[in-house]
Each structure stands twice: as structure tokens, then as C-alpha cells.
Structure 1
Amino acid sequence: MVGRKKKPKICDKESHEEDRISQLPEHLISEILSHLSTKDVVRTSVLSTRWRNLWQWVPGLDVEFNTFSDTKTFVSFVERFFDSHRESLIRKLRLNICLPYGKCDLNSWIDAVTTRRIQNLDVNFFPANEIPLIIYACKTLVHLRLVRVALADAEFVSFPCMKIIHLEEIRYPNETTLQKLISGSSVLEDLTIIRSPAKVLQVRSHTLKRVDIDESTEVVIDAPLLQCLRTKIISTKNYKIINLGFSTKLDIGIGFSNATYGKSLIHDILTDISRVRDLVISNVILKEIFLYSNSGPVLQFQDLRRLKAEFSQSDLEMLPTILESCPKLESFILEMVKEPSMRHEEKREAHVMFSAVPRCLVSSLKFVELKRSIPRYEGEMELIRYFLKNSTMLEKLRLNVYYTKKAKCDFLTQLVAIPRCSTACEVIVL
């Protein structure tokens, strides 16, 4: 009919939508896929004919043995990957393997990646297999993580690009091997050693910034640029820092909650704390320090600026004393933790003297965070009120706490009603 308009044709957008990723060059697609797990990368092979073999060109392999049906399938998959990369780069290799001896040729796999400019190598192998000597001369390696493997004895170690080393349950012929590994990493910044069989490990580095050791590892650290030492202590001090500077952060935890600490150990720890500006400490050691101070002179940590400490509810009675010991404290994170089990004494509530106002609350404290990994405890609002009413310089109070919907409404109502000594204080409830 004349004058009748035709209805516009409705197109199926999904059927005509362009596949822009497939239009990219293969090397860009491989770069995108390198950020996925190997399992997800292989799944892309069913998308189309073009994608069928693209997974083989991704410059990285991340596999776990237990995701394969059997040993033969796992070994075949890995070797197929290496065969497809005979002339290309392999930047990352992560192998988590639990195999009987002789079922795979780990040496040839390590050899394959070291000749193809590997940057990130992560090997967890059980039972322990020896890493081949060729690894010690890898010029491109940046991040090395070895778990439950054996290190071969080496005459010479050279890692000109190595920045991160993580060693866990490692076997090696002697302490010298491990020390060569560290000293041969000329730009090393981050070192983690867990469950080391070494009696005392000498760590010397002019570039090292962070060290993480567990309670079973004893180290002597000579690192002038050290920024952070994280360790756990059982009953003896397992570290010694040469040239400990103000910029070094100490993170001291405990190996076992029922460990006993002598006065000499606490004295040594106090000596270290008095020389740093940043401290993270467990409630068990903090309580030992508090008890130690009751029998001696008043503690003073004149240089401490940042403190993160654990407290149980019964530990809160030492809070004013601890804060008074830190006259220049600027940042304080208080984490409420579970009350320790008491075998020989009954649990009791803390008697906190909130009437005392430490100097740092008046002159320096700018940031406070209260967080808890336990249910709400009695006295929480009183603790919040203590900081808000007495902190003259406070800029931010962050409350990392959990409440049910109804309880949170009551909590916020009480919180808003608390007067603030600092008009610039921002209160954030997470």
C-alpha cells in the first residue's frame, strides 16, 4: 500500500558481533593468555580452528600434577609444550609435582627453560629431586621459588637479574651452597627461607630489603639496605641483624603459643625494638615485655613511629603503658585476637585504666585502626571512645569490625554520639 512504511529489520547483534580478540596478532593473543592459568588457556583451543594450537605459544606454563588423570598424560602434556617452544621464549614455569622417581625428566625441563630466557621459576617437587647445575648460571631469572627440592653443590653462582628467592624445605650439601646462592644474586631484594636445615645461615647482601624466616631458621643478616625482617620465635632469638637501622621494620611472631621466654631473650628483643621505627608484634611477646617492664625501669621507645600489635581482651590492661612507652607514635593498629588458653589460672577481665592519657595521643598519633578476628567483646565501645576523646592529632580512625545488621545500627548510633577531641578526625567503619 502507498504510504505504508516498512518495518526496520532487527539484526541479531550477538551473531554479527565482531570477535575483536581473534583479529589481534598471535603474539598479542599469546601475551593476553599468559595472564591465565594453563588449564584455562588450554580450554580456549575449542573456540575455533585458529585457536586450536594458540595455547602452545603462550610464554609460560603453570601446571599441577593432580589435575591430570595419570602420570603419562601429565608428562606428555609438559613435553608437548616444550617441543612447541623450541625456538621461542618461556618467561614463566610453575610445576607442582608429586611423582615417583624416574617418571619425568625434571633436568631436561629445567634445561629447556634456562636456555629460553626464563624469568619466573617455581618448582614444588616431591619426593625431592635435585635441581640441575645449569640453573646457577641463568642470566635472566628474576623470581625463584623452590619447594622440597635439592640444591646441587656449585663452584660458581651468578644471577645478575634475581630479585626474589623463596626456599622452602630445601635440601643442600652444606651452608656454603645456600650462601653462594644469596651472594651470587647481585640485585636480590626479597629472601624467604622456611624450614632450613642450616645451623646458622650467614646472609650478606648490599641490595637485600626484605627477609622472611620461620622459627626453625637461624640467620645472621648483614644487609645495610634492609627494610623489613619477618620472623617467628619459639624460645630463643633466631636472628641477629648487623647494622640495624631506623628504617628497618621488625615483624616478630611466635612459633608456639605455650613457649616460654627468659629475661635475656626479652632484653635482646627490647634492644632491637629500641632501634626501629616500625614494629609488628604478637600479643604473647608483648605481654612478656609488659611483665618485664614491671620489674625494671619504665620502657621508652623514642624512635617508634608505627606499631601493629595483637591484644586479647585480658591484655588491654597494658595498653596505656605500651602507648606511654611510645611518645612519638604516629600510627597504631590494634588487632583483637582470641584469648589464650589458661591452664593454671582462671580467665579474667581486663582492668583498663582509661583515665591515663599517654603523650602520643596528645602530640603525635594520627592514625588508629581497630580490627578483630573474634566476635564483639565487652568494652569495645569504651576503647573507641578512649581514642576519640583523647587523641588531639588524630586524622583517621578505621574500625575493621563486623556486626549483624541490627547490631550495626546500634553501634553506629553510639559511635556518632561520641565527642571527638580532633575535629579533623575521619571515622571509617569497614
Structure 2
Amino acid sequence: MEQCLRIRVVMGLDRISEFPEELLLKILSFLPTKDVIATTVLSKRWRSLWKLVPKLEFESENEEDIAKFAEKVGRCLLSHKAPVLESLHLKVTDEHEETICGINVGLWVGIAVARHVRELVLDLSLFKNSLRFPTVALFCDTLEALKLKYSVLVDVPSPVYMKSLRTLHLDSVKFKDNDSIHNFISSCPNLEDLLIHRVTLKKVLIIEAPSLKRLSISGKIGGKEEAGGYVISARSLKYLNIRRLYNCRCCLIENARVLVKATVSNVSYIVNENILGSLKLARRLSLDLSPLEIKCPTRTRFYNLVYLEMSTIEAEWWNLLKLMLESSPQLQVLKLIDPGKDASKDDEVSGQWSEPKYIPECLSCYLETFVWIRYDWEREEEKEVAKYILRNATFLKKATFSTRPVEHQKSLQMLNELNSVVSSASNSCHILFE
């Protein structure tokens, strides 16, 4: 029996070892690098196989000696022989002040560039220190994705040419000055995906990216007196996400003619610019804004807008809703959401709903779906908004309300109350409660 088991194990190992090298490398590329290197003890066949794996990922462990970690990374990269390095991920976390002396990011990135790296991720969390981003990577013709995070200092004194770069993520990194970030972005003529998170600006950053399709901007920008801002010119932009911009000098999106979806939340006191007006060509909008803190487009028409999602947590949110209904003549789907962040909504949401003077065209001709998540039927203004929409949406097919748990009797009362309103407007509408 023991001999049979031994034969089965040996046969099993032989069966895997006899796979084509290309297949083995594909399998190993899904494993953490430390596990890939551990396969060297299996047999002669595996001893040098790890050196050809096209994906490498190094992460410092908790309480690990950074000098030893850095030495291990350097040794592995120098031994690596893959003709093309598909990706290199480096994550270093350390709270000791001397860490910066033991890390040779320039050497690591230089080796990756020599291996024709396609994706490079630098995630550095160091004690009050920032490591300068190696300039050798700025001249890498093969680099397609670059993601920088935390303790990275970028200095690009003049534009370069990164012809292959399509994805650029800048998460909480530091730039020497505004020119550096402008030169960096403008050096990527084929950029399609750009993320800028918690990057401090003292001036207005002009982003001109004709190939850009996805843009995400977030993070607090400076103080009220010296805040920066954004002017984005991207004629290919399809997906936009802007959040947590306060006291921003401006935020303007130009030439966004093919915009599919835009999400704007926690944006307030944008000076001299109408951010909503910049999104007039969007097909889908998701808004979490206070009409008391941001300029609303009084004359802008959202002719392409078919889907609108809005938060109901901000003060007098219904005034923004009223304006959007009046400005979106072809709106087909309306979704209202209470994020549920604060149980005491009374202080945040105050005021009184007043109906538009004229029934908006979208209600009388186009709106088919109405969804309200965390609808509070005991709040008078929410009840009035719901009744107004149900009463005037002539072509409404489905209305869905999700509420907090209520007694069965109250649930029936709410259903009957809304049903009586909708029956007079649209015989084909179905009301659902979740």
C-alpha cells in the first residue's frame, strides 16, 4: 500500500512537471512571488523556472527588517530573466525614519525598465519621507500602466514622451510643483484612465488629454484662499467621478461630448464655475450635492440625460431635484437615495417642497422607472415629492420604494396612499415595496 501511494504521488508530480513551460509560467503568475520562489525546492525542473515568471510582487511584512527586504528584492530582480516583465508591484510599509536609506527604488525600477515592464505599481508608506520617482521610468516605451501611492515624490521639470502609457493613478503622492503634474500628464498622448486622489494643488491644473476615457478626481484641495482647481479638456471622456472637492477655485469639464456617466459628490463652494453645467451632455448622472453650497445651472438643458440618481441627505435637496427635472426633458429613470449616514436627518434636511409651476416634460412624456431607497414616508417633504412624481409621471411603468422596517398596518397605509395617487395618472404603473 505504501509503495502504491508513493507511486501515485510521484506520478502526480511528474504529470505537473511535464506541462509545457508556457503553461507552468501562466499558473505561477497567479501566485504571490514568495510562493513562486518557494517552488525552487520541488525539483531540478522548478529550480530556475521562477526567473521567467512575467509577474513579480514584493510586499514588506509587518516588523520585517526593511534592509533585508530591500536586499531580497534587489537579489530577485537581478536574477530575473524574463524577456518581458508584465508587471512589477512594490509595496513597502515602515515607520522608521532611516527607512529611506535602505531602499533603492531607482535600481529596482531600472531593472524593470530593462525587462520592458508593462505595469508598474509603487506603494510606499514611509515615516515622514518621500522617495523620488525614478526618471528612468519616464522614458520607458513599454510602460502601459503606472500606479503611484503615498510616499512618492514626482519631479518632471519638462514634458517627456510616454507613448504606451494608458493608465495613470496618482494616489496621495507629492509633486514638486504644479508644472510637474501638468508635464507628467501631458507626456502621455494615449492616456485613457487617470486617477488623481488627494493631490494638493495651489494653482489651476489644466488637463488636456484627447484620448482620456475615464477620470477620477478626489480629495480636499488646500484652503479657501490658495485653493487650486481643475480644467479638463477631454473629448473622448466617457466616465467621470469627482468627489470631496471643497473651496476649489474651479472645476470645469470641456468638450465632454461622449460622456456616458458622471458621479459628483461632496463638492461645495466651487468659485466662479458651474460644475453641473459642464456635464450637460451626460447620459447618466449621480449627484450628492447641496443646492445651498454649489451653483445650479438655471438655463442649462440636459438633453441627453436618461438616468438620474440623487442623494436625499443634503439640505433642501428637493430644490436640486426640481431643477434637474425641469432641465432634463428626456429623463427615463429617476433614483433617489438616502445614504443612511446620519440617523438624525431632521437637522440636515429642512425646508419645504414646492411644486414646479409647470409639469416637466420628462414627467409628462418619458419617465418610466422611479426608485426611492430608504424612503421615509413619515417626513412630509418626502411624501409630497413622491406623490408629485407619481401623480404627474404619465408613462411611469414601475415605482419601487425601499423603507426602514415599519409595522404591517403602516405599510398598508403607505401603499394605499401612494396607489391612490398613481392610479389617477398611469394605469400601467406597478408600485413595489422592499
TM-score range, shorter chain: 0.7 to 0.9
Q: Is contact 2:216-2:240 (8 Å) kept?
A: yes
Distance 1:162 1:352 in 2: 49
Q: Is contact 2:157-2:179 (8 Å) kept?
A: no
- How far does residue 165 in structure 1 lie from its aligned partner after superposition? 0.6
Q: Is contact 1:118-1:140 (8 Å) kept?
A: yes
Q: Does 1:311 align with 2:322?
A: no
1:20-59 aligned at under 5 Å gives the runs: 21-38=16-33, 41=36, 54-59=49-54
- How far does residue 78 in structure 1 lie from its aligned partner after superposition? 1.5
- How far does residue 120 in structure 1 lie from its aligned partner after superposition? 1.0
The letter for the 1-side match of 2:246 is I
Q: Does 1:109 align with 2:108?
A: yes
Task: After superposing the two structures, state which structure 1 stretch, 96-105 or 149-158, moved more.
Answer: 149-158
Mark the CA change 1:325 to 1:241 in structure 2 (over 3 Å): closer, same or farther: closer
Partner of 1:233: 245
Q: Is contact 2:189-2:211 (8 Å) kept?
A: yes
- How far does residue 139 in structure 1 lie from its aligned partner after superposition? 1.0
Report Cα offsets for 1:260-306 as digits up to 9, x if no partner.
Answer: x48x75x723533445443222142x45569x79xxx7875444333
Partner of 1:206: 210
Partner of 1:191: 194
Distance 1:53 1:410 in 2: 71
Distance 1:23 1:383 in 2: 69
Report Cα offsets for 1:346-377 as digits up to 9, x if no partner.
Answer: 567776679996432332224444435xx977
Distance 1:333 1:427 in 2: 14
Mark the CA change 1:299 to 1:130 in structure 2 (over 3 Å): closer, same or farther: closer
Report the TM-score when normalising by structure 1: 0.74
Partner of 1:333: 335
- How far does residue 108 in structure 1 lie from its aligned partner after superposition? 0.8
Q: Does 1:157 align with 2:156?
A: no
Distance 2:40 2:409 in 1: 52
Q: Is contact 1:283-1:311 (8 Å) kept?
A: no
Distance 1:172 1:161 in 2: 22
The letter for the 2-side match of 1:311 is T
Q: Does 1:219 align with 2:230?
A: yes
DSSP-derived class of the 2:143 partner: coil
DSSP-derived class of the 1:86 partner: coil
**Alignment equivalent of 2:178, drawn from 175, 179, 192:** 175
DSSP-derived class of the 1:80 partner: helix
DSSP-derived class of the 2:274 partner: helix
Mark the CA change 1:40 to 1:341 in structure 2 (over 3 Å): closer, same or farther: same
Report the TM-score when normalising by structure 2: 0.73
**Alignment equivalent of 2:72, drawn from 77, 80, 84:** 77
Partner of 1:8: none
The letter for the 2-side match of 1:163 is R
Distance 2:367 2:161 in 1: 46
**Alignment equivalent of 2:93, drawn from 86, 98, 112:** 98
- How far does residue 190 in structure 1 lie from its aligned partner after superposition? 1.4
The letter for the 1-side match of 2:287 is I
The letter for the 2-side match of 1:186 is P
Partner of 2:61: 66
Distance 2:51 2:403 in 1: 47
DSSP-derived class of the 1:224 partner: coil
Q: Is contact 1:316-1:350 (8 Å) kept?
A: no
Q: Which runs of 5+ in 2 are unaligned?
A: 222-227
Distance 2:46 2:410 in 1: 57
Q: Does 1:135 align with 2:121?
A: no
Distance 2:88 2:215 in 1: 24
Partner of 1:118: 117
The letter for the 2-side match of 1:35 is F
- How far does residue 210 in structure 1 lie from its aligned partner after superposition? 2.4
1:276-425 aligned at under 5 Å gives the runs: 276-284=282-290, 286=291, 288=293, 301-312=302-313, 315=316, 317-318=318-319, 319=321, 322-338=324-340, 358-372=360-374, 378=378, 391-394=393-396, 421=426, 423=428
Mark the CA change 1:196 to 1:353 in structure 2 (over 3 Å): closer, same or farther: closer
Q: Is contact 1:396-1:428 (8 Å) kept?
A: no
The letter for the 2-side match of 1:117 is H
Distance 2:161 2:370 in 1: 45
Mark the CA change 1:157 to 1:299 in structure 2 (over 3 Å): closer, same or farther: closer
- How far does residue 201 in structure 1 lie from its aligned partner after superposition? 1.8
Number of equivalenced pairs: 401
Q: Is contact 1:320-1:357 (8 Å) kept?
A: no
Q: Is contact 2:260-2:284 (8 Å) kept?
A: yes
Mark the CA change 1:163 to 1:354 in structure 2 (over 3 Å): closer, same or farther: same
Q: Is contact 1:365-1:393 (8 Å) kept?
A: yes
